[in-house]
Homo-oligomer: A and B are copies of this chain.
Amino acid sequence: MKQKPTMADVALYAGVSPSTAARVLHGNGYVSDANRKSVLKAASELEYHPNIQARSLRYSRSFLIGVVLSSAVRNPFFALISHAIRLQANAAGLSVLNFNHNYDHATEVDGLRRLLDHGVEAVILCHSFEIANLAPIQKAGIPIIEIERAFLSETHKILIDPQPGLAAALRDLVERGHRRIDFLGGSAARGSRGGSSSHSSADEERAEAFLRAAAAVGLDAADLHVTTGQYDEDSGTALEGLIRGRQILTRTDRPTAIVAGSDVLAAGVLQAAYELGLHVPRDLSVIGYDDSLGLFLTPALSSVRQPYDEIATLAIEMAMAGTKSPSLVRTIGTSYAIRSSVGAARSGA
């Protein structure tokens, strides 16, 4: 590796004092336009790259943000949310250290230690395996931003309101004549373990919001079935939706529509319908949640849409606010993306 140019080299090349070069390159203090241009030109021609490691020591900043995810493999929701966060972080001059716990205690402990080692300025918690593992981050005084969950005290929180999206989804179904509707709720793979029992999980919240939204559009509780629960983490992905979709679709009081707690579950429901020879949407309407897979599935899936960009923007704002602010709590609403998996209820159904 060739010798890197220093800030002193840049000052020399630009014909300005080292302190002038420093003011330009650190972006603080007054510098004349002419000098600023000379320094930036010199920096560009010399291919000067500020040494973030040295800057980190001087300013006690690492310019790194940690993002905790479960696994990119099980649920594309996590790929989409971390992508949105990375874009916002980069726009704010920050880089992102992603880390996946893969539903393993030691992996999570090790990954969080690594985030500490790199001196991340904040940790955004999209999904934690065991919330107690966050203790070292909290002890170190590093701000934590919880997304869609509220397990820890004294953290910033971005809560997602499932109601607007589910209300729009149910209005759509009711207008098409559906009355018998199932909600197929989330799996253990979506909720953190060991959370405070005073807060319900995102899955429970979605199920409750479904029932409230159904009542609001005049559906009879007797026509609604809600299935949620803790399932085998290893079955993963769409298999869970397939198995549970088979159970629902072979009931004598088969629903005409299923709202799933995630697009991944909905993908399994589509597979179950296919196996049983049911045409979607002619025989069954299906709506997902997260809007993470909709464009890949057959038919293209209607889904309750997560506000990915708003979540990411807010998360980075909270990360920058750090621990100087008291705990910030903000709630963002969902919406409803209509595609091809919803149709009229069959007459007589």
Contact = CB atoms under 8 A, between A and B. Distances in A.
Interface in A70-88: 71-73, 76, 79-80, 82-83, 86-87
Contact of A72 (B80, B97, B298): B80
Interface in A1-26: 1-2, 4
B117 A297 contact: no
Interface string A39-66: 0000000010111111011000011100
A139 interface: yes
Interface in A133-159: 136, 139-142
B100 A97 contact: no
A318 interface: no
Nearest to A71: B83
Nearest to A241: B296
A69 to B, nearest CB: 9
Given A76-B79, A141-B1, A142-B1, A86 B100 contact: yes
A61 to B, nearest CB: 10
Contact of A95 (B114, B298, B299, B323): B114
A340 to B, nearest CB: 9
Given A83-B73, A295-B239, A53 B119 contact: yes
A295 B33 CA distance: 58
A47 B137 CA distance: 11
Q: Which of A47, A49, A53, A239 has the most CB of B within 10 A?
A: A53
Interface string A283-303: 000000000010111111000
A118 interface: yes
Contacts of A79: 72-73, 76, 79
A110 interface: yes
- A contact patch SS: mixed
A228 interface: no
A90 interface: yes
Contact of A97 (B73, B95, B293): B95
Contacts of A254: none
Nearest to A270: B298
Contacts of A142: 1
A98 interface: yes
Given A83-B72, A267-B298, A298-B270, A90 B117 contact: no
A96 B97 contact: yes
Closest 4 CB pairs of A and B: A1-B141, A72-B83, A79-B79, A72-B79
Interface of A: 1-2, 4, 47, 49-54, 56-57, 62-64, 71-73, 76, 79-80, 82-83, 86-87, 90, 95-100, 102, 107, 110-111, 113-114, 116-119, 136, 139-142, 237-239, 264, 267, 270-271, 274, 293, 295-300, 323
11 contacts: A1-B140, A53-B56, A53-B119, A64-B118, A72-B83, A86-B99, A87-B100, A90-B99, A270-B298, A271-B299, A271-B300
Given A2-B139, A54-B57, A72-B83, 6 more contacts: A1-B140, A49-B116, A53-B53, A76-B76, A86-B98, A90-B107
